Chain A
Amino acid sequence: MNPLDLLAALGARVMGWLNALGHASLFFGDLVRHTPAALRRFDLVVVQIYAIGNLSLVIIITSGAAVGGVLALQAYYALDRYGAAESVGLLVALSLLRELGPVLTSLLYAGRAGTSLTAEIGLMKAGEQLAAMEMMAVDPRSRVLAPRFVAGIVSLPLLAAIFSAVGVGGAYLIAVKLIGIDSAAFWSQMQDGVDVFKDVGNGMVKTIVFGVASTFIALYMGYESEATPEGVAKATTRTVVFSSVTVLVLDFLLTSLMFSIKS
């Protein structure tokens, strides 16, 4: 192939990415700008919190219990070799609070709530509902998008807290009731080693960042989807993929900032 053609194609690709990035950033700015309007009409936000938060409770609670139980089992087998079996609670709690709680909840959230957001917005666009709203001088961004944005940011930290708490409960059931570790040792080791601000607090900060990122991506993909069934399907897939990758990369960045090696 002509190397100049290749170069031109590469240049076009890069320009395309830059444009998309700019468009997405402006969209994010719009979302933030319309947030006060959404807060003023809080009943809209409440409806969205129900759709995003309440309806995710089943998956969050079952996953939390399962992950907590599995962590306890695996940690026990590893720690028992060094006679440190009583630190199972500490290991599970730190893993959940610092990493697995925020990240797994965000991944599940992207899969369940993110896709439903994208599909809903995409179908609204396909059914020309958003255009109809604009005709009636109702800004779809403050009526439709911003409430969902606020609801996502509010719901994700709550879901992550529930995930971690249920995970610790699941670990307790496995470690104390099933394996037979001393209950007092389980809790006291955990309480000695887990710091409220460094572990619980940092975990919550992470969930807020992930909530902003995942919800923004879900809304953007829905808003920019093609107004066809295939377009909506592609958009939902892209939501899950982008949200997951973004959450994991942000997790790495935040972890290296928060849990740096100097104590």
Chain B
Amino acid sequence: MEKKNLETLVGLFVVLGAVALVFLSLKAANLASFSFDSTYQLKASFDNVGGLKIRAPVKSAGVTIGRIKSISFDDKRFQGVVTMEIDRRYQFPADTSGKILTSGLLGDQYIGLDPGGDDKNLQPGDSIKLTQSAVVLEDLIGKALYGKAAEGGGNRQKEGAK
């Protein structure tokens, strides 16, 4: 009789531990969101993938509809090739464009898909043709400085000519 009681209590303990683990995985972590739905793959090539990471979201209209599976380098066209897994429920026209966007001002980067108007949809394994690379902060700063310098030089020339 006491043996039975003991086994029940130990079983309860193990169940409690398992429930705690499940709670942590579902409520505290991101197991419930998206991970195991059926997906299809799309590719996109960018001149500069910026700070994109694997498992970064792929969003359209601000809603997460996929994740980045892998990032590789194409040494024939010298571009970064991003392979994405998109939820099978959502189909996109063949002339969809992809942009690398930043969430917030300095947050994580993600891919945003803008649908086109084509009748035909992208098939699994297709590549997105129109892409816009990541905004690189250093290039922006360089452009701003160059613009300022050009402006200053132009003004001085005008004054010199006076």
Chain A residues within 8 Å of B, Cβ to Cβ: 43, 46-47, 49-50, 53-54, 57, 93, 97, 154-155, 157-159, 161-162, 164-166, 168, 187, 190-192, 194-196, 199-200, 204, 263
Contact = CB atoms under 8 A, between A and B. Distances in A.
Interface string B98-131: 0000000000000000000000000000000000
A200 B10 CA distance: 23
Given A54-B10, A54-B13, A165 B29 contact: no
21 contacts: A46-B6, A46-B7, A49-B10, A49-B14, A50-B10, A50-B13, A54-B10, A158-B18, A158-B20, A161-B17, A165-B20, A166-B20, A190-B27, A191-B32, A194-B30, A195-B29, A196-B29, A196-B30, A200-B28, A200-B29, A263-B53
Nearest to A163: B20
A155 B33 CA distance: 29
B30 A192 contact: yes
B25 interface: yes
B16 A168 contact: no
Interface string B23-43: 111011111110000000000
Nearest to B5: A50
Contacts, number: 82
Given A43-B3, A159-B17, 18 more contacts: A49-B14, A54-B9, A97-B28, A155-B13, A158-B13, A158-B16, A158-B18, A161-B24, A162-B20, A165-B20, A166-B20, A168-B23, A168-B27, A190-B28, A194-B28, A195-B30, A196-B29, A204-B21
Contacts of A187: 27
Contacts of A165: 19-21, 23-24, 28
A53 B25 CA distance: 22
Given A196-B29, A196-B31, A200-B29, A97 B24 contact: yes
Q: Which 8 A-B pairs have the closest CB atoms?
A: A158-B17, A165-B20, A161-B20, A194-B29, A196-B29, A161-B21, A162-B20, A196-B31
A199 B32 CA distance: 15
A263 B32 CA distance: 23
A191 B23 CA distance: 12
B33 A196 contact: no
Nearest to B17: A158
Contacts of B23: 165, 168
Interface of B: 3, 6-7, 9-10, 13-14, 16-21, 23-25, 27-33, 53
A53 B13 contact: yes
A196 B55 CA distance: 13
Nearest to A190: B28
B27 A162 contact: no
Most buried by B among A49, A161, A187, A192: A161
B56 to A, nearest CB: 11
Contacts of B10: 46, 49-50, 53-54
B13 A57 contact: yes
A168 B24 contact: yes
Contacts of B19: 165
Contact of A191 (B6, B7, B30): B30
A49 B13 contact: yes
Nearest to A89: B28
A154 B25 CA distance: 19
B6 A47 contact: yes
Contacts of A263: 53
Most buried by A among B17, B27, B31, B33: B17
Most buried by A among B14, B19, B33: B14
Contact of B29 (A53, A154, A191): A191
Contacts of B16: 57, 158, 162
